[in-house]
Chain A
Amino acid sequence: MKKSLLIVVLVITTVFVFAQTPKRGGVLYDYWTADRMIFDPQEDTYLQTYAMARLLFSTLVRYKGDTLELEPELLAKMPEVSQDGLVYTFELKKGIKFHDGKTELKSDDVKFTIERMLSPKGRGASKWLFEPIRGATAFMKGEATSVEGFKKIDDYKFQIILAQPYAPFLQNLAVPAASIFSEKLVTTAGDNWRLKPIGTGPFKLKSHTPNTEIVFERNPYYFEEGLPYLDGVVYRIIPDSTVALMEFEAGTLDVVTIPVLEYERIKKTGKYNIIEKEALNTYYFIMNLSDPKWSNPMLRKAMALAINKQELAQSLYGPRATVAKSFVTPGIPGAYSLGEGPAYDYNPEEARKIVAQLGNIGKVTAWQSGGDTLSDANVIIQAMAKEVGIDLEIIPVERAAYRQARNEGKIPATYANWWADIPDPDNYIGVFFGKGNQMSSGYSDKEIQEMIEKARVEVDPQKREQMYRQIEYKIVREDVAVIPLFHLKYLLATQKNVHGVIAHPTGITLYLYAYKQ
């Protein structure tokens, strides 16, 4: 009896362990709604390019699993940081090979990567990542032939010296745009590089059929033992998300972003794995403080009180959305906790009173990025504004024209969203309200902008967090320069046999640990 019981226990344990052990092999099918056509994350900052960069390339440090905690990737250990927060000492893992199986990663490649991004003759679109390095500004202006703050110690060790302390510097290095390239391979490839990338990442590019599919296959030289589990990843290009869901239900896609209206139905089938994950984003309504009408703080406050965020979020995104009380997404060091924050709550009576005090303000304008007709969000916002007596006209503007106007500070107001690149308040506050911002906020409070500069270089983490909370309070509560509306969760579905998919808060789906059972 005891013997049979033991056998049963052993069999169950074996089955359970087997079921949990990642299986090697198989190809995973995902999709994009558009083809970016290039693979150089230094040149293209779209999420697709970043996601592909995580397959093709590696960064010095990366996020651990689905957390915001950093861990070494190309480094042997986390870098040592000097007391004054200026000197970072790095050591690369030895023997890391690029996809060609011959070229070894060395310190010179890191230097090359940094200088390629900052080059005044290059197309680096994310110079901000390496801008804190000493001498970066002079190099960018063409006044220096190399970046002063990069010191090579030997082939595997180097130091990076910053111009002034910048706490989130290591997070900058985890952004896919900071992927490390090979000097030799990039130089040899010339103009072909953007279409034929060679990295140290877990997968290499096998083929790209424009507007059809991008095929990645396992990198046999990948430096992490046993990884990746998958033989390959294929991104199909399917412009319509409804069609993508059909493909998923037909079993020809392994992963899909669930359209909100289909969420309950897909979940109820019980046929798929559902991944829900908080992400670093805020959907907001921003008003340009240099606009003749929106420059009135009372009008901005009335607008903030007029929007029923709960209703807006629920009707647009259902279970995907969480009402925002702050602009910086909760979970980021220095952000307010979820459910707390300086943003105004819905109060239509108070909004009506303010509008009555303002008298005849006439029509106020906002823009919409793209589309022939107003989006659902803008229709709702417009109706809510009307409820309290604000005559809000929303004009759809073609995407490229909208982007240009935003950079030039010409958008009067807009409903939009921000997906952060790094989990740091500066990536929200500094980008939107700092000096020389290009987000059409029209924000110009010198005292606050100086405080933003100080917070950026503050070394004491607690003091820094405190400073950002104060700044955000002033911007969101007192100046009402932006109305945080809601945060959006990741909502992915995978086939039942797909495991190990990581939906990272930065908006990137990672397949390093993914496998098909």
Chain B
Amino acid sequence: MIQYIIRRLIFSIPVVIGVTLITFILLNVVPGDPVLEMVGKYADPQTVQQIREQLGLNDPLIIQYLRFVFNAVRGDLGKSFKTGLPVSKMIAEAFPTTLKLALSAYLVAIVIGVSVGIISAVRQYSFFDHSMMIVALAGISAPVFWVAVIAQLIFGLKLGWFPISGYYSLKHMILPAIVLGTRFAASIARYTRSALLDVIRQDYIRTARAKGLSERAVIFIHALKNAMIPVVTILGMQLSGLLTGSILTESVFAIPGLGRLSVWALSERDYPLVQGVVLFTAVIYILGNLIVDISYAFLNPRIRLQ
């Protein structure tokens, strides 16, 4: 197992290099000068040139990229063009908030999604099944910012149950977690339902029922464990997605997470910060996928990690 993990991590290195290289090329190909963004509307060429020199932007691109890689390997992601703060510090400050939001939303998504999926599968074609699948479809289709604003209006402004926006305490996390979580719950419910339906039609389930096992035991002990393999894949991908893709939720709820930091970095053309966030995000994705693969072995010992 440890060998497998080490091998996977080694294979990830080219992926990380590829991601940073593509980001670097894109940042330099896309129009938009970071110095003009810093200086603003009265940019005079002399000041622009001076700042470019200070930031090392006049060096050849290959030198700039190698400098980034060399420093990143030593754990130094550079300093933000705009604030002058270490990029790693800015990411370290923003990430815990995103992590809290992602985990809270994840919890909401799993509890609601898996429960609804199981009930829908067990009671296939029932009123509950039909209505929940329609709700799930609506949940997947509705834009997250729209759902967020409606939730803020009803539960924040009209009923006053939750704070409308900002992040000052855990209470501020409830509404965004529900909005973000229910969205993911919708797709989890649909995956759980279809995976479970596939499994409960298998012969071994029929055998289990024939042996006289209770329906509860059949579903929870025999069917669910096997049905969870495709669901776990989705869950793993969704956790990575939640950690790196909650930009809209963070913006609407004014939560100071990684999503907003990356949008800010991009709009300011803060190259070191963009590079740092992308690198960090890539690592999160790789680790997320690795955890999913490892979890397969626990769910089904027949799957060998090779």
Residues of A at under 8 Å CB distance from B? 34-35, 37-38, 43-46, 120-128, 140-141, 191, 194-195, 209-213, 236-240, 242-243, 246-247, 249-250, 252, 397-401, 403-405, 407, 438
Contacts and interface: CB of A to CB of B under 8 A. Distances in A.
B31 A247 contact: no
Contacts of A191: 84
A243 B40 contact: no
A484 to B, nearest CB: 19
Contact size range, B: 35 or more
Contacts, number: 135
B83 interface: yes
B31 A44 contact: no
Contacts of A213: 166
9 contacts: A122-B47, A126-B42, A195-B84, A195-B85, A212-B256, A213-B166, A243-B252, A246-B152, A400-B269
Nearest to B260: A211
B38 A44 contact: yes
B254 A125 contact: no
A399 B266 CA distance: 10
B36 A44 contact: no
B274 to A, nearest CB: 12
A78 to B, nearest CB: 26
Interface of B: 30-34, 36-44, 46-47, 50-51, 54, 80, 82-85, 90, 93-94, 149, 152-153, 156-157, 160, 163-168, 251-254, 256, 260-261, 264, 267-269
B264 A34 contact: yes
Contacts of A126: 42
Given A120-B50, A127-B47, A45 B83 contact: no
Contacts of B36: 400, 403-404, 407
Contacts of A122: 47, 50
A43 B50 contact: no
Contacts of A141: 46
A310 B50 CA distance: 45
Given A46-B40, A126-B42, A252-B164, A194 B256 contact: no
Contacts of B165: 238, 240, 243, 246-247
Contact of B83 (A34, A194, A238, A250): A194
Contact of B44 (A37, A127, A400): A127
B164 to A, nearest CB: 5
Contacts of B256: 209-212, 237
Contacts of A250: 156-157, 160, 164
Given A125-B40, A238-B165, 4 more contacts: A140-B46, A210-B93, A212-B254, A250-B156
Nearest to A403: B36
B264 A211 contact: yes
A246 B166 CA distance: 12
Contacts of B160: 250
A60 B96 CA distance: 44
B39 A125 contact: yes
